[in-house]
């Protein structure tokens, strides 16, 4: 089992919806996905989604769930709560990859940079920015890239395009989960592949270090 956490100090960066998208994308690639909800808000009511969803708002519950998941195959995804720095620091050291979603917005970028500094000061080793809601239009991209220039390229995993329909992943499923539109499914698959490649590259780097030692 490999673990990924999505965390951001600022609300509205897409942390929760991207967590669900990642779980969905893993499922569409036939990879068992286990999504841990740690936000103080009530968890969603999910009925029939192709991934497991757990209420892990208490650190002890999260610890128990993660420990149980270590011995099984798949991807463990932690939707990390905002403004709980000690909790975030523990999670960051426990998982294989930490993603900081950042919108192409000056305030989002500012908070994401602070979040990176905090996590790295707490000992997190593999933290990456994930540009969220990146415009599809070249004109719009040119406009927002002035904000994104502050993001170090070597610490960015990639980007996720703007797909408004992705908001449905934050809605309760009543009475059952309906397969999302194609654009949402495609975004979810793409996000999973980015994460998979980032995790694989991390393993390759670790192997090379071991060879040198």
pLDDT tens, 9-33? 888 889 999 999 999 999 999 999 9
The verdict on whether omega for the bond into residue 66 sits within 30 degrees of 0, i.e. cis, is no
pLDDT at 10: 83
**What average pLDDT score do residues 134-138 get?**
88
Write the burial class of residue 66 (CB in 10 Å: 0-12 exposed, 13-18 middle, 19+ buried): buried
CA distance 16 to 2: 19
Specify the DSSP element, H or E, that contains 175: none
Specify the DSSP element, H or E, that contains 131: strand 127-134
Taking the CA atoms of 198, 201, 203 and 206 in sequence, report the sign of the dihedral they define.
Answer: negative
Which bin fits 133, alpha (ψ -120 to 50), beta or left (φ > 0)?
left
CA distance 176 to 4: 27
**What average pLDDT score do residues 164-187 get?**
93
CA distance 174 to 82: 27
CA distance 205 to 199: 10
Question: Percent of the chain scored above 70 by pLDDT?
Answer: 92
Among candidate residues 72, 67, 83, the one with its CA nearest the CA of residue 13: 83
pLDDT at 207: 38
CA distance 115 to 34: 24
pLDDT at 53: 96
> Does the pLDDT value for residue 49 go beyond 80?
yes
Q: What is the DSSP letter of 84?
A: -
| Averaged confidence pLDDT in the chain | 87
Residue scoring higher pLDDT (94 or 139): 139
Give the pLDDT band of residue 41 (cuts 50, 70, 90): confident
| Span 74-131, pLDDT tens digits | 999 999 866 666 677 777 777 899 999 999 999 999 999 999 998 888 888 889 999 9
CA distance 133 to 109: 13
pLDDT at 203: 53
Cβ atoms of 9 and 82 within 8 Å: the answer is: yes
pLDDT at 124: 84
| pTM of the predicted structure, to 2 decimals | 0.91
Most confident of 55-59, 69-73, 190-194, 197-201: 190-194
Please tell me whether residue 55 adopts helix, strand or coil conformation.
strand
């Amino acid at each position: 089992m490999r673990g990924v956490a999505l965390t951001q100090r600022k609300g509205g960066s897409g942390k929760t919806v991207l967590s669900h998208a990642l779980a969905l994308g893993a499922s569409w690639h036939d990879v068992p996905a286990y999504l841990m909800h740690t936000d103080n808000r009530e968890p969603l009511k999910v009925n029939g989604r192709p991934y497991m969803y757990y209420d892990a708002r208490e650190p002890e519950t999260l610890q128990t769930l993660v420990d149980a998941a270590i011995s099984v195959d798949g991807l463990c995804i932690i939707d990390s709560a905002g403004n709980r720095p000690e909790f975030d620091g523990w999670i960051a050291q426990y998982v294989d990859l930490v993603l900081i979603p950042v919108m192409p917005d000056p305030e989002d970028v500012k908070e994401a940079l602070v979040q990176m500094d905090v996590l790295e000061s707490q000992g997190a080793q593999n933290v990456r920015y994930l540009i969220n809601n990146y415009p599809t239009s070249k004109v719009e991209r040119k406009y927002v890239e002035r904000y994104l220039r502050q993001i170090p390229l070597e610490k960015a995993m990639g980007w996720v395009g703007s797909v408004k329909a992705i908001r449905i992943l934050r809605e309760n499923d009543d009475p059952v989960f309906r397969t999302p539109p194609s654009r949402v499914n495609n975004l979810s698959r793409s996000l999973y592949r980015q994460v998979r490649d980032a995790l694989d590259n991390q393993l390759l780097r670790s192997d090379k270090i071991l060879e040198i030692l």
